Amino acid sequence: MAQIHREIAADSTFDVAIVGGGPGGSAAAAALAQRGHSVVLLERSSFPRFHIGESQLPWINGVLKEIGAAEAVATAGFVRKWGASFAGDDGESERYADFACAVEVPQPQTYQVPRDRFDQLLLEHAAASGAVVRHGCQAEDAEFDAEGVTVRYCSGDGDKHVARVGAIIDASGRQGFLARRFGKRQHDPLLRNIALHRQFEGVPRLDGRRAGDIRMVLRPDGGWFWFIPISESVMSVGVVMPRDVYQALAAPTPDETLDAVVHATPGAAKLLTRATAITPARFEADYSYLHSCHAGDRFVLVGDAGAFLDPIFSTGVLLAMQSGIEAAEVVSAGLREGDLSLRRFRAFERRVVRRYQHFRRFAVGFYDPAFRDLFLNPSSRFGIYEAVLSVLGGNWRPSLATRIRLRLFFGLVALQRVVPLVPRRGLKSS
């Protein structure tokens, strides 16, 4: 595998600068370089580095194939994932969602990944595709003019550098290098949740094909635990809670708070009885948001810089990489035709927002007790469950038939709030 290029020139010129070397930035860099453009990617961290978001969706297979990284990921030894299981807070009555049953999912098997290894693999793939990757470089400023963009950045040794580019892609994640300068980050009022997570060893797994699947334990207050096997021995464990629930249970440290929530959730406590924590607990908040703009003259936002959705259905990496490839397509076309104006990027912006809203409907829905009632008591009648499972597999472009089934599902959810079509699980409304 190609080594990441670390040599830093004093002054340089490229077609495109990308700020951020996560999956979205790497996908954009690879796609642009493969189209023959000169690309510099500035990453402030030294890889490998920790990142949350280990569980992937089946539709990511097509994204990886599009940038030529599918084989590298398939042979990297990542845990294979075929589905997800959902259990009540007592750990009983587990329901299994098998992606092989979903419609419009070409390849149901996907991966659970340690993000340090996965992200480095994608960044190295971008370098092998022809992008110049500069580690330990912090983007400090971008000056726009009629002819291009002047990007100023600082390397790890404190030296200042300047790159002249035609366009810039902000893939800097929550840092929002350009996002915080243009527009406003709009936090989702229905998804103001708190997350705590850490890694463990010694957590039991399911047998056979399901050994690599994500397991979820649902709390009656609307919260939920994830258990994600990211290697043969390590399990990522986290809990997502409504803000008021967190405030009621909060202890002096994240470790103590996570322990308290585990002990208050019998199904989670049972899985962690003989487990050993190998990392400290980490705290996350205000992570569901949509930016007010995703593009402007000579720039576009990619991945978490523009939007991030609650982790309930593991859409983060998929959405980031899809937007990275699409950003590369529109910027490449703009470079060829000499038009890098906002007008050129409007369709890209609409597509990013439309995809976010598509998945948001399901993320918000899962915190609705009626949604959970129906999802956890699936019926194969009319193919409704298979249609829902398709979206949870990453399908953001469902066929007309699937869209009709999804509308019917949400109609049944509305009816379940009034008349119990299936047994109610006693979950509180968040």
Spatial neighbors of 135 by CB under 8 A, at least 6 apart, are: 4, 6, 21, 43, 45, 46, 47, 156
- Tokens for 238, please give them: 């986290």
The pLDDT of residue 427 is 54
The string of pLDDT tens digits covering residues 139-153 is: 999 999 999 999 999
Domains and CATH numbers, the chain: 11-71+114-185+289-358 (3.50.50.60), 80-106+193-285 (3.30.9.100), 368-430 (no CATH)
The pLDDT of residue 218 is 94
As a whole number of angstroms, the distance between CA 142 and CA 177 comes to 9
Q: Quick one: pLDDT band at residue 428, thresholds 50, 70, 90? A: low
Q: Quick one: pLDDT band at residue 429, thresholds 50, 70, 90? A: very low
The pLDDT of residue 93 is 78
Whether 261 contacts 109, CB under 8 Å:
no
Q: Cα(first)–Cα(last) distance of the chain, in Å? A: 47
Q: Quick one: pLDDT band at residue 376, thresholds 50, 70, 90? A: confident
The 10 Å Cβ neighbour count of residue 294 is 28
Mean pLDDT, rounded, for 224-239: 97
Global pTM value: 0.93
**Nearest CA to 180 among 288, 291, 18?**
291
Which amino acid is it at 352?
V
Q: Quick one: pLDDT band at residue 1, thresholds 50, 70, 90? A: very low
- Tokens for 150, please give them: 């002047």
Q: Where are the alpha helices (DSSP H) in 88-203?
A: 115-129
Whole-Å CA distances, 121 to 126, 183, 267, 278, 292: 9, 32, 35, 24, 32
> Does residue 2 have a pLDDT over 90?
no
State phi, psi for 425 to the nearest 5 degrees.
Answer: -90, 5
For residue 256, the Cα-to-chain-centroid distance in whole angstroms is 27
The string of pLDDT tens digits covering residues 233-292 is: 999 999 999 999 999 999 999 999 999 999 999 999 999 999 999 999 999 986 799 999
As a whole number of angstroms, the distance between CA 127 and CA 116 comes to 17
The string of pLDDT tens digits covering residues 282-318 is: 999 867 999 999 999 999 999 999 999 999 999 999 9
Whether 134 contacts 44, CB under 8 Å:
no
The pLDDT of residue 364 is 96
As a whole number of angstroms, the distance between CA 369 and CA 420 comes to 11
> Does residue 135 have a pLDDT over 90?
yes
The string of pLDDT tens digits covering residues 23-47 is: 999 999 999 999 999 999 999 999 9
Whole-number percent of the chain with pLDDT over 90: 87
Whole-number percent of the chain with pLDDT over 70: 96
Concatenating the DSSP letter of every residue in 305-323 gives GTEE--GGG--HHHHHHHH
Position with higher pLDDT, 11 vs 335: 335
Q: Quick one: pLDDT band at residue 426, thresholds 50, 70, 90? A: low
Helix pair 342-366, 400-416: axis angle to 10 deg: 40
Mean pLDDT, rounded, for 197-214: 96
Concatenating the DSSP letter of every residue in 280-297 gives --EEEES--EEES-SEET
Whether 163 contacts 151, CB under 8 Å:
yes
Q: Quick one: pLDDT band at residue 113, thresholds 50, 70, 90? A: very high
Whole-Å CA distances, 89 to 94, 210, 223, 300: 10, 20, 10, 42
Please, what is the Cα angle at 383 between 377 and 384, to 5 degrees? Answer: 50
The pLDDT of residue 158 is 87
The string of pLDDT tens digits covering residues 58-90 is: 999 999 999 999 999 999 999 999 999 999 888
Residue 44: burial class (beta carbons within 10 Å; 0-12, 13-18, 19+): buried
Q: Average per-residue pLDDT in the chain?
A: 93
Mean pLDDT, rounded, for 89-115: 92
Which amino acid is it at 163?
A
The string of pLDDT tens digits covering residues 150-160 is: 999 999 888 99
The pLDDT of residue 3 is 42
> Does residue 4 have a pLDDT over 80?
no
Residue 166: burial class (beta carbons within 10 Å; 0-12, 13-18, 19+): buried
As a whole number of angstroms, the distance between CA 46 and CA 98 comes to 37
